[in-house]
Amino acid sequence: MAKYFYFTRHGQTVWNVENKICGATDIALTDLGHQQAAELGERILKEGIKIDEILYSPLMRAADTAKHISEVTGIPAREELRLKEQNFGKYESTPRNGEEFKRAKQDFVCRYEGGESMLQLCQRIYNLLDDIKKEDKVYLLVAHNGISRAIESYVRDMSNEEFAGFGIKNCELRKYEFWLSELCDDLICSNCQSTALWEWKNPYLWL
């Protein structure tokens, strides 16, 4: 069974620069985003971080990030549909710091008029994490900020406000460790073992 996995968010995108909500919209990386991805791959290689396989979101910003990392490190990569970013419905392409959107993110059953609720998002991510912890592989998941929230909530208790406000930087690398419960034979996630290993010096958290 897996003892740990890694997670990173895609590199900078065009809409990150424009302060727009990307969500399920397929937005490309900027030149800096491509550079961030390649440099993360170099960092993984230089530090000898053990990863058996990369799983990535089908959206191009995450797929291209994963492919850069794979090309640099030689780690095989494949698409995982469950890593697709949350669909924010009517809020796609709107300003990420809009007050209405901030309030809507704290309503976990809201589908944003045609999108996907937080509960639906967490269901597919929790199912994915349950699956990978049963395997004897170390994975790097390459996805999105919304996915980072779901993963963080899998490993620790969070208030609605904490969940809605949580995010990581572009190409920040985090490690999550599984530990063996004394009460059962199942592997579960440990909050205290969530570790940020490396991040770009970027003062902003983007959706």
Each residue's pLDDT tens digit, 48-79: 999 999 999 999 999 999 999 999 999 999 99
Q: What percent of the chain has pLDDT over 90?
A: 66
The DSSP 8-state label assigned to residue 157 in this structure reads -
148, 164, 200, 174: which is closest to 11 by C-alpha?
200
Domain residue spans in the chain? 4-198
Residue range 187-207, pLDDT digits in tens = 333 333 444 554 433 333 333
| Axis crossing angle, helix 118-132 with helix 145-155, rounded to the nearest 10 | 70
Q: Largest Cα–Cα distance of the chain, in whole Å?
A: 49
**Residue 181 pLDDT class (50, 70, 90 cuts):** very low
What is the value of pTM for the model shown?
0.86
One-letter amino acid of 206: W
**DSSP 3-state of 30:** coil
What does the DSSP assignment read for 33-85? HHHHHHHHHHHHHHHT---SEEEE-SSHHHHHHHHHHHHHH---EEE-GGGSP
In whole angstroms, give the CA distance from residue 84 to residue 121: 9
The CATH number that domain 4-198 falls under is 3.40.50.1240
